[in-house]
C-alpha cells in the first residue's frame, strides 16, 4: 500500500495528507514519495505494516530536505515534534529514529529495521544504482562537478562499509569517471525573467546540468536585480571579462547556451559565435534554443522600462 494511503489513519495524531506536499518540492529527485513508498513496501513485506513508529519515521525522516543544509535530520525531527499530537513515548521513538538516519547508526532494534530499509538502494544491482546516482546528481547540481565527484565518492565509500554488494564498486568507478554533458547559460540577467527560464528548462532537458553564468557586461547597466529563488538549487557563477576565459577556468568541456527570440537574435548570435571561435578556438560549442512564442517579446531592457510604471511583475519569476 502506498504511503499516501497509509497516512489517512494518522489524522488522530494531527497528521494529514498535506505533510506529503513537501515531497513534491522541485529540487527533489530521489528524496520523493517514491522513496517513501519503497521503504514502506519493504517494511510491510517484513510484517511491520501495523507499526505506527515505523510508519511515522517513514513519512517524516526526509520531510525537511535541503541538499545545501547539514541539519536536515535535526530539522525533520523538530518538524515532526511540532506537528505530532499523539502519545509522547511514540513521539520520542520516532524522533530518535529520524535522528539516527544522519549517520545510520541505529540506537534501537526498530531504528535498525528502518535504517536497513532506508539504505536498501545500496544493495540493488548496478542498473538501479545508476538511476539512483543520476537522481542524487540532479539534487546536487548546485555544486561544481569536480567538487561533487570528489565528495560523492567519499560518501559512497563510507556507505559501502558493511554492505556486501559488488555493484557498489562499479558505481564508485562510474562516478569517478563520469563526464556529464554540462552547458553554460551566460547572460547579464538583469533581470532573469520568464523568457530566460523557458530557455533554461529546455536546456535542462538536453544536458545533464546547466550552469548559470552571470556576466558583468561593461556595455550594460550594472545588475540591479537579484536572481530569483527558483534558481537557488542550480550552480550559479559570476564572471568578469571574456566568456571564453570563464569557460576555460572551469576545467572541463561545456556547451554554451544561447537563447533566441527571433531571426534577428539568430543573426546577432551567429556573429557572436564567430568571435567565440576566434577567442576560444574551433572547439567552442554553442547550442541555440528558441523560446516559446509566448515569451518572444520579453526582454530585460523592456522589463526595466516597465518597472518604472509598476507593470513588470507578470514577466518576472
Query: Is the preceding peptide bond at 191 cis, omega within 30 degrees of 0?
Result: yes
* CATH number for the segment(s) 182-315: 3.40.50.620
When the pLDDT of each residue in the chain is averaged and rounded to a whole number, the result is 90
Q: How far apart are CA 291 and CA 74, in angstroms?
A: 42
Q: So what's the pLDDT on residue 238?
A: 93
Span 27-40, average pLDDT: 96
Q: So what's the pLDDT on residue 269?
A: 74
pLDDT at 233 exceeding the cut of 70: yes
**pLDDT band at 219; cut points 50, 70, 90:** low
Read off the pTM.
0.90
Span of 49-58, 121-130, 185-194, 222-231 with lowest mean pLDDT: 222-231
- For the chain, what are the domain ranges? 3-118, 124-177, 182-315
The 10s digit of each residue's pLDDT in 263-276 is 777 777 777 777 77
Amino acid at each position: 500500500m502506498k504511503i499516501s494511503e497509509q497516512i489517512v489513519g494518522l489524522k488522530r495524531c494531527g497528521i494529514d495528507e498535506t505533510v506529503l506536499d513537501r515531497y513534491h518540492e522541485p529540487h527533489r529527485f530521489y528524496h520523493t514519495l517514491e522513496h517513501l513508498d519503497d521503504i514502506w513496501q519493504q517494511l510491510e513485506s517484513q510484517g511491520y505494516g501495523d507499526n505506527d513508529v515505523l510508519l511515522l519515521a517513514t513519512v517524516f525522516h526526509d520531510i525537511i530536505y535541503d541538499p545545501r543544509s547539514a541539519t536536515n535530520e535535526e530539522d525533520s525531527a523538530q518538524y515532526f515534534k511540532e506537528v505530532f499530537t499523539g502519545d509522547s513515548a511514540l513521539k520520542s521513538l520516532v524522533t530518535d529514529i529520524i535522528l539516527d538516519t544522519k549517520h545510520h547508526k541505529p540506537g534501537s532494534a526498530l531504528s535498525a529495521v528502518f535504517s536497513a530499509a532506508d539504505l536498501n538502494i545500496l544493495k540493488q544491482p548496478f542498473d538501479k544504482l545508476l538511476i539512483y546516482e543520476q537522481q542524487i546528481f540532479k539534487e546536487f547540481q548546485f555544486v561544481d562537478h569536480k567538487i561533487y565527484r570528489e565528495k560523492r565518492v567519499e560518501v559512497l565509500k563510507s556507505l559501502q562499509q558493511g554492505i556486501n554488494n559488488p555493484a557498489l564498486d562499479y558505481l564508485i568507478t562510474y562516478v569517478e569517471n563520469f563526464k556529464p554533458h554540462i552547458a553554460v547559460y551566460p547572460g547579464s540577467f538583469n533581470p532573469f525573467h520568464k523568457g530566460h527560464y523557458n530557455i533554461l528548462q529546455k536546456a535542462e532537458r538536453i544536458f545533464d546540468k546547466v550552469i548559470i553564468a552571470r556576466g558583468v557586461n561593461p556595455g550594460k547597466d550594472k545588475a540591479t536585480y537579484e536572481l530569483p529563488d527558483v534558481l537557488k538549487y542550480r550552480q550559479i557563477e559570476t564572471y568578469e571579462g571574456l566568456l571564453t576565459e570563464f569557460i576555460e577556468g572551469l576545467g572541463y568541456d561545456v556547451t554554451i547556451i544561447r537563447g533566441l527570440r527571433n531571426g534577428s537574435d539568430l543573426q546577432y548570435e551567429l556573429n557572436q559565435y564567430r568571435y567565440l571561435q576566434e577567442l576560444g578556438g574551433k572547439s567552442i560549442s554553442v547550442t541555440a534554443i528558441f523560446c516559446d512564442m509566448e515569451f518572444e517579446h520579453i526582454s530585460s531592457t523592456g522589463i526595466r522600462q516597465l518597472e518604472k510604471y509598476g507593470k513588470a511583475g507578470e514577466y518576472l519569476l
